[in-house]
Structure 1
Amino acid sequence: MTDSAAVRTTYTTRDPEAAREHLEAACGAAVRMEVRLAAGAYEVTRIDAGPFALTELCLPGRLSTAFSPAGLLTVGCLRSGCAELRSGDRSERLGAGDVCLEGRPEEARTLVSEDLRISSVLLPADLVERAADDLSPRRSRPVQFTGLLPAGPRMAALWQRTADFARGAVLTPGGLCPPVAGETARLLAATALAVFPTDLDIGPPSADLRDAGPETLRRAKAFIEANAQHDITLAHVAAAAYVTPRAVQYAFRRHMDTTPLHYARRVRLDHAHTELQDADPGAGATVTDIAARWGFTHAGRFAAAYRRAYGEPPRTTLRR
């Protein structure tokens, strides 16, 4: 996974060996595939979105597929078919609509499937670890996922909505700008930690509560406002405020009833508003270009957020 714009590749074949080779490329791991009953064409699609990737696999017939450890956290949603997943010492039977942790970064896994179509999100292990640091900054070992299934139907639905949002963002014409790609990747990692059971201790340390004061908020806001055009993370904001990421979150919640992420979005929206006021449409300025410059790549969502904030469509501001 790189920091480049989203790149989509699709490969279709009836040759199991060719399908296995493309599975290796798509999943970033060595793959063994045993065909028990062949039926139809295999299709492997991968979208590399920079800090994360999406795959769509169509594996007809009956297969036994073994994946070596890939250093990735892989979360899947079965669109159709059925499968038995084995990862480490855990095994789960899966059907259409199920969400599962397909693979933990350090583990090999085996998938015995029949007429399987599965959509997956691939997250680098270090991205997940940084998200875990935000939740539990004083932990002393890598996060461990203790189950393959979400912690209940609500959590499964949360993952599906988040993955659908990420897929929609990736497929938006023009691609993802770096701030949006980075925020989407962090959202996916944080959601995975919320959805699946882990060994994280996320109780609020008293030191973080003490640090969540007005001075922390002031430093955090100043950093966000000065760096809104960059792909800044919660860790960057915390470092600038000289506190932990959790203390920053507490400070925004306590004093502004919001989150650092929502505040950063509002700052970027304000910058877009100012630029729209100053821009000259006769010189080629467009709402789309200005919005994208500040991290808003979905025109409809930008227009809705802008109207809520300023009481008029962005094109009205630009033309005034």
Structure 2
Amino acid sequence: MPLGEHLRELRNRLAIAVGVIVVITCGAMFFAKDIMNVLTAPLPACPRGAPPEELDGPCASLTMDGLTSPFITYIKVSLFTGLVIASPVWLYQMWAFVAPGLHQHEKKYTRAVVAFGVPLFLTGCWFAYWLLPRAIVVLLGFTPEGAENLVTVENILDTIVRMAIAFGFAFELPLVLVLLNLGGVVSGQRMLGWWRGMVLGIAIFSAAVTPTDPVSMIALAIPVTALYFVAVGISLLNDRRRRRRDPDANLSDDEASDIDLTPSPIGVPDRTDPAPDPGGADGRRPGGWDDVT
């Protein structure tokens, strides 16, 4: 397709994805308060009126800062809910935009790979929600004695949303690597050679998107690193299967394949009797051509 057609298709795909997210977001606004209670549940709330010296373990008081903060928080919670619930739609739209440029066998593998995209994304979001209470306890443990922690609802929701989206997309790493391998872009052996840089990059990414405590960073880095090596293993198996079917599959475009120069026996040629010469008196064929021609 020309560039204009690609841009129009991209516009249509984005319109469908955004439309579904907006519809689900509008529906989630009716349940935003209940969703907010679920999202803020990991925060250990302090008993009302209890002095700090009588508290059993670290806790915090949940507050709202500003007159418009409740409304803005409702919008953020609804939008986050719409983004998560609509993930099958926008993931499919991403694939549908790329699929016309793939071969038929590549589409077959891509469908299988994309089918794992939504479960992995939702698993990453759930893992972030599971990890947050443990990270909060570690962070609140640095509170000095006699001090009271005041945490705004907007702050804790921003932390949850950031972690959930970061964890969800981080769990998509093996899909991207396997898809690149199935498309012939990168081999499993080359991905295996990247393991030092990938481990370091995953650790840096984990430190950037998680709260400032080592527990959260390690908890994210370990599963993502494991998923990376799982993707490498799948790619190596796929390369092995590809080599069995086509020994020259791993050759680059400017590399010549091995040629078998082993001589093979040639049988005795069959004897053929010469055809009678129907030439005329001038030595030419009836068609006017001589024997040499």
Q: Give the number of the structure whose residues are more often helix, by fraction.
A: 2
Higher RCO (CA-CA < 8 Å; seq separation 6+) = 2
| TM-score (structure 1 length as normaliser) | 0.24
Larger Rg: 2
| TM-score (structure 2 length as normaliser) | 0.26
Q: Give the number of the structure whose residues are more often strand, by fraction.
A: 1
